[in-house]
Chains A and B, each alone.
Chain A
Amino acid sequence: MAEPVLSIRELRKNFGALKATDNVSLDLRPGEIHALIGPNGAGKTTLIHQISGAIRPDSGAIEFLGEDVGALGMAARARKGLGRSFQISSLASEFSALRNVMLAVQAAQGSSFRFFKPVMHDTSLTEPALAVLERVGLAQRARLPAAELSHGERRKLEIAIALALGPKAFLFDEPMAGMGPEGSKDLTGFLDGLRREAPILLVEHDMDAVFALADRISVLVYGRIIATGTVDEIRRDPEVRRAYLGEHA
């Protein structure tokens, strides 16, 4: 089997007495969509935060592309190729959609200490950014400030920014949240193709999307992974049905 792209070992994180991440190990293999599901407050976002470097685990290891990235900050991990989206859209709200994506393009080119050339006339930034907006269907809205986009459009912009980084792995935290059935279906098709570019660790509550997309599923409950397996294995797992899937399976 191919080496995993991302590998998490025995990760722990407590908030006071709360075990938000309780001895979690999981990996992300090349080309796969690994879905992370679980009830509200299970610790999914907290786990994504630790992988992306937004918060520090209390203990455990995070290996990315064969390298321990535990000591690196969020920006350094992004530069290594971890592209994430946020459950609650986190954008430069005054900037247009285009400029939000251009920021990612500029970061990917590794060149933020250039002081004189105007970005809006720099086709090495605008063209790739527009191409990415086109891919997610936001090209028509490129010039609008992020704050003026609809909720669904902001969710797409989150994805576009991650895409523009050209990352080696995607971490998506509930990309479908609040997108409506139509939006979710579109996005499901989009993510399906995206796994060929880089594997995806996908946190999602939309079970139709998860069952349609996931190569493997891990179920997180009270900070612990209670099961990992294929869609069928997870659907049949009695413990998973009791803890989470009951209403979905």
Chain B
Amino acid sequence: MTMSRETPINLVLAALLFAMPFAALALDEPFYVTLATHMAVLALAAVGLNLALGLGGLVSFGHAAFFGLGGYAAGILSTHVLNMQPLLTWPLEIGASDQMPVIWLVAIAVSGLVALAIGAISLRTSGVYFIMITLAFAQMIYYFAISWPAYGGEDGLSIATRGAFPGVNTAVPLTFFLVCYAVLVAVLVLFALVRDSRFGAALQASRQNETRLAAVGIGPFPVRLAAFVLSAMITALAGALYADLNRFASPSMLSWQMSGELIVLIILGGTGRLFGPVAGAMLFVLIESVLGGLTERWQFFLGLILLGVVLFARGGLIGLVAGKPRHG
């Protein structure tokens, strides 16, 4: 990875988010530990979407589907563990697990398969049609979830005990924050590697000019499909952590509002920028908790801020501070 004008602000953001729960505990405000965890997890979900939307220009309005699938993976595994039921009995018996790494793998695998199917169909379209078709798929999954009583239906699924992580006690809020933060950092590293790789070059070229990409012999479709799947997997991982954070897998995780929120986070922070989702999630959660405490109509003010960003600061927070991205 190369140093760029972005690097200092990225480091500041990373340090701020890291310091927040420690400061909160020092000031005896434990609620802010949860808030910081919320920021880290939302940032992670948006890093996933940023891969498709920021690098590939794929405006998925259905990423809540993957966020929710991750959440339900955590919820369903935890329910099975609680009731001591195997997850599957046929064709082979698979036991449930309360280990986070197992939950994450399930979330990633399931969402990857679903994204492969959704992407294979949606990516035949582009523009507004792509937005609408991804929304439609996510809504189908939403309605499926609320009409499936075995796993909570409209009430969602509560998680009796948070998933375990080898060697640490995830029930301690700070510990759980550190787990989420570590995952976020690992995925940011992955994002930077992918962005700068051959695949990343093809993906970004597909956004800038798909005819050019095809003219050199790289079909845009497989590149986009791979990006869509990878993107969904990351967002699902965030969903699993989000459910564990709230000890609850809610159908609202699958709602179109959630998809919209992820897009808003990215636009606020800086589309396609490594730390755009982090900046966006921190700002969003801050606005939500500060303004939300003052007025019921905090979303109105969020709307104003978003309007300002779209009109005057297209590059979002990162763009405002670090200027345009350089591509070498």
Asked if A87 is an interface residue, CB under 8 A from chain B, the answer is no
Q: How many Å lie between the Cα of A94 and that of B220 in the bound state?
A: 17
- Among B209, B218, B226, B327, point to the contact of A75 (Cβ < 8 A): B218
- Among A76, A93, A99, A111, point to the contact of B328 (Cβ < 8 A): A99
B327, A96: Cβ atoms under 8 Å?
A: yes
Asked if A78 is an interface residue, CB under 8 A from chain B, the answer is yes
Contacts of A52 in B (CB 8 A): 215
CB distance from B142 to the nearest CB of A (A): 31
The interface-forming segment of A19-27, A102-110, A193-201, A218-226 is A102-110
Which residues, 188 to 239 on B, are CB-close (under 8 Å) to A? Answer: 193-194, 196-202, 204-205, 208-209, 211-220, 222-223, 226
Asked if B83 is an interface residue, CB under 8 A from chain A, the answer is no
Asked if A205 is an interface residue, CB under 8 A from chain B, the answer is no
Range, interface on chain A = 35 or more
Asked if A74 is an interface residue, CB under 8 A from chain B, the answer is yes
B223, A112: Cβ atoms under 8 Å?
A: yes
Asked if A156 is an interface residue, CB under 8 A from chain B, the answer is no
State whether A91 and B216 are in contact (beta carbons under 8 Å apart), knowing that A103-B202, A115-B197 are contacts in the complex: no
Does more than half of chain B's interface fall in helix, strand or loop, or is it mixed? helix
Contacts of A78 in B (CB 8 A): 214-217
- Among A76, A94, A143, point to the contact of B204 (Cβ < 8 A): A94
Asked if B26 is an interface residue, CB under 8 A from chain A, the answer is no
Q: How many Å lie between the Cα of A79 and that of B193 in the bound state?
A: 26
Asked if A16 is an interface residue, CB under 8 A from chain B, the answer is no
CB distance from B196 to the nearest CB of A (A): 4
CB distance from A213 to the nearest CB of B (A): 23
B212, A120: Cβ atoms under 8 Å?
A: no
CB distance from A77 to the nearest CB of B (A): 8
The chain B residue sitting closest to A100, CB to CB, is B212
Asked if A238 is an interface residue, CB under 8 A from chain B, the answer is no
CB distance from A185 to the nearest CB of B (A): 27
Asked if B89 is an interface residue, CB under 8 A from chain A, the answer is no
CB distance from A4 to the nearest CB of B (A): 22
Asked if A249 is an interface residue, CB under 8 A from chain B, the answer is no
A91, B212: Cβ atoms under 8 Å?
A: yes
Contacts of B218 in A (CB 8 A): 75, 103, 106-107, 112
B199, A113: Cβ atoms under 8 Å?
A: yes
Asked if B15 is an interface residue, CB under 8 A from chain A, the answer is no
Contacts of A112 in B (CB 8 A): 198-199, 201-202, 218, 223
Q: How many Å lie between the Cα of A79 and that of B214 in the bound state?
A: 9
B219, A92: Cβ atoms under 8 Å?
A: no
The chain A residue sitting closest to B202, CB to CB, is A112
State whether A103 and B193 are in contact (beta carbons under 8 Å apart), knowing that A112-B218, A119-B201 are contacts in the complex: no
Contacts of A244 in B (CB 8 A): none
A118, B193: Cβ atoms under 8 Å?
A: yes
Contacts of B216 in A (CB 8 A): 78, 103-104, 107-108, 161, 165
Asked if A114 is an interface residue, CB under 8 A from chain B, the answer is yes
State whether A73 and B202 are in contact (beta carbons under 8 Å apart), knowing that A93-B208, A119-B196 are contacts in the complex: no
What number of B residues sit within 8 Å (CB to CB) of A? 31
The chain B residue sitting closest to A78, CB to CB, is B217
Q: How many Å lie between the Cα of A73 and that of B217 in the bound state?
A: 9
Contacts of B201 in A (CB 8 A): 95, 99, 102-103, 106, 112, 119
State whether A74 and B214 are in contact (beta carbons under 8 Å apart), knowing that A117-B198, A118-B193, A118-B196 are contacts in the complex: yes
Contacts of B202 in A (CB 8 A): 103, 106, 112
Q: How many Å lie between the Cα of A57 and that of B218 in the bound state?
A: 22
Contacts of A42 in B (CB 8 A): none
Which residues, 44 to 86 on A, are CB-close (under 8 Å) to B? Answer: 52-54, 73-76, 78-79, 84, 86
The chain A residue sitting closest to B197, CB to CB, is A115
Asked if A90 is an interface residue, CB under 8 A from chain B, the answer is yes
B1, A118: Cβ atoms under 8 Å?
A: yes
B198, A106: Cβ atoms under 8 Å?
A: yes
A98, B193: Cβ atoms under 8 Å?
A: no
CB distance from B82 to the nearest CB of A (A): 38
CB distance from A141 to the nearest CB of B (A): 14
State whether A90 and B212 are in contact (beta carbons under 8 Å apart), knowing that A73-B219, A96-B328, A107-B218 are contacts in the complex: yes
Contacts of B204 in A (CB 8 A): 92, 94-95
B209, A92: Cβ atoms under 8 Å?
A: yes
Contacts of B196 in A (CB 8 A): 118-120
- Among A79, A93, A95, A117, point to the contact of B217 (Cβ < 8 A): A79
Q: How many Å lie between the Cα of A111 and that of B223 in the bound state?
A: 11
Contacts of A229 in B (CB 8 A): none
CB distance from B125 to the nearest CB of A (A): 17
Contacts of A90 in B (CB 8 A): 209, 211-212, 215
The list of the 3 closest CB pairs from A to B, nearest first, reads A78-B217, A75-B219, A79-B217
Sample of 23 A–B contacts (CB below 8 Å)? A54-B214, A73-B219, A74-B214, A75-B215, A76-B219, A78-B214, A92-B205, A92-B208, A93-B208, A99-B327, A102-B201, A103-B205, A103-B213, A103-B218, A107-B217, A112-B201, A112-B218, A112-B223, A113-B198, A118-B2, A120-B196, A143-B328, A161-B215
Apart from A116-B197, A117-B198: 11 A-B pairs, beta carbons within 8 A = A54-B215, A74-B211, A75-B215, A75-B219, A78-B215, A95-B327, A102-B201, A106-B218, A108-B217, A112-B198, A119-B201
